[in-house]
């Protein structure tokens, strides 16, 4: 394969020769390391779809961290490699063994750029490794590293790692996210009022004002408050519903397996959290 190089990318001196010895049809094992939460795992789907298209003979392994698996695109890979999180209290030997279980690869993509992913990338034998530039660490780990875009859509930042292989993507991005469950029976607007931490959430009073105005302006639509999983998220959703004052076209929807069906069938998703907004984007639902 030919290595496409940009002036702001870093590459090892023999990187071009290493990749030239590897034909696309000969790539049989690919590792993708992405240790991240729900939203970023959803945004990984376009990357994996393109990877599958261009390396159709390869067995793709996705490396995840144990406490972040919700939203993982396991349907797009052949194998899942799970490493323990720091809160599990696993000893260094057990952790080392878990890291090494990723196994030999032809191509390795590190989309995480964390201390843990640097170590895994370093320990994993691969014919070609690529990741993001980070201080000088990337020079000890990868064959090539590119700058990480700070003000770009994260899904496109992931896809940047395919550019050195001559792989381009088209907009709009393809997610092909499977949806389980039935969509809403009437036109709906969905509101997700919480986030990963309470301090990141818009005040309850603001959501009450917004919902009351929207319910009045769009009376034919059903206005659905999507509650989060945590106790405080459910309480906040209850408080918003109570504050709106029992309007017939406003209801509460508990979080669950049918979240995707609800959002997929909605005319609009108002999301306080990027994770839920990324779900809306992956489903093609307009988001705010």
The DSSP line for 204-262 is HHHHHHHHHHHHHH-TTSEEEEE--SSHHHHHHHHHHHHHHT--TTEEEE--STTHHHH
Helix (H, G, I), strand (E, B) or coil at 121: helix
Tell me what pLDDT residue 237 has.
96
How many Cα atoms are found within 13 Å in the side-chain-facing hemisphere of 44? Answer: 28
How is residue 207 written in tokens?
Answer: 């959501």
Say whether the peptide bond before residue 172 is cis (omega within 30 degrees of 0).
Answer: yes
Kindly report the backbone phi and psi dihedral angles of residue 189, in degrees, each rounded to the nearest multiple of 5, phi listed first: -120, 130
Domains of the chain in sequence order? 10-165 (3.40.50.2000), 188-283 (3.40.50.2000)
- Give tens-digit pLDDT for 87-135: 777 788 999 999 999 999 999 999 999 999 999 999 999 999 999 999 8
Rounded alpha-carbon distances, angstroms, from residue 270 to 199, 210, 248: 18, 10, 20
Q: What's the pTM value of the predicted model, to 2 decimals? A: 0.93
- Please report, to the nearest 10 degrees, the dihedral formed by the alpha carbons of residues 153, 154, 155, 157 taken in order: 100
Treating both helix axes as pointing N-terminal to C-terminal, what angle do 204-217 and 231-244 enclose, rounded to 10 degrees?
Answer: 50
Q: CA–CA separation, 63 vs 81, rounded Å?
A: 4
Residue (of 155, 159, 112) closest to 131 by Cα position: 112
Chain CA centroid to CA 126, Å = 24
Residue (of 96, 132, 122, 102) closest to 30 by Cα position: 102
The residue to which tokens 């496109």 are assigned:
156
Q: CA–CA separation, 218 vs 215, rounded Å?
A: 5
Task: Using 70 as the pLDDT threshold, list the residues of the chain that sit under it.
Answer: none
Sheet holding 188-192, edge to edge: 250-253, 222-226, 188-192, 268-271
The residue to which tokens 């770009």 are assigned:
152
Q: CA–CA separation, 102 vs 79, rounded Å?
A: 10
Average pLDDT, the chain: 94
The residue to which tokens 């001196």 are assigned:
13
Chain CA centroid to CA 3, Å = 26
């Amino acid at each position: 394969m030919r290595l496409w190089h940009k002036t702001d990318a870093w590459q090892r001196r023999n990187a071009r020769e290493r990749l030239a010895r590897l034909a696309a049809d000969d790539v049989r094992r690919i590792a993708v390391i992405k240790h991240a939460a729900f939203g970023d795992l959803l945004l990984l789907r376009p990357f994996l779809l393109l990877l599958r298209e261009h390396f159709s003979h390869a067995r793709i392994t996705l490396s995840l961290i144990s406490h972040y698996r919700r939203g993982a695109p396991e349907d797009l890979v052949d194998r899942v490699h799970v490493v323990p999180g720091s809160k599990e209290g696993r000893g260094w030997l057990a952790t080392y063994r878990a890291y090494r279980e990723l196994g030999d690869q032809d191509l390795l993509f590190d989309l995480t750029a964390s201390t843990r992913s640097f170590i895994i990338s370093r320990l994993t034998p691969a014919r070609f490794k690529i990741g993001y530039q980070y201080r000088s660490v990337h020079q000890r780990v990868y064959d090539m590293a590119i700058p990480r875009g700070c003000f770009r859509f994260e899904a496109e930042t992931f896809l940047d790692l395919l550019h050195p292989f001559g792989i381009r993507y088209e907009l709009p991005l393809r997610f092909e996210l499977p949806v389980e469950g039935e969509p809403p029976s009437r036109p709906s607007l969905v509101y997700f009022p919480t986030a990963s931490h309470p301090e990141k959430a818009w005040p309850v009073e603001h959501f009450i004002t917004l919902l009351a105005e929207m319910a009045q302006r769009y009376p034919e639509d059903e206005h659905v408050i999507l509650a989060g999983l945590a106790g405080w998220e459910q309480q906040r959703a209850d408080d918003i519903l109570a504050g709106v004052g029992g309007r017939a076209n406003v209801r509460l929807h508990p979080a669950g397996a049918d979240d995707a069906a609800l959002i997929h069938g909605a005319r609009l998703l108002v999301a306080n959290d990027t994770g839920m907004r990324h779900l809306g984007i992956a489903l093609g639902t307009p988001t705010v």
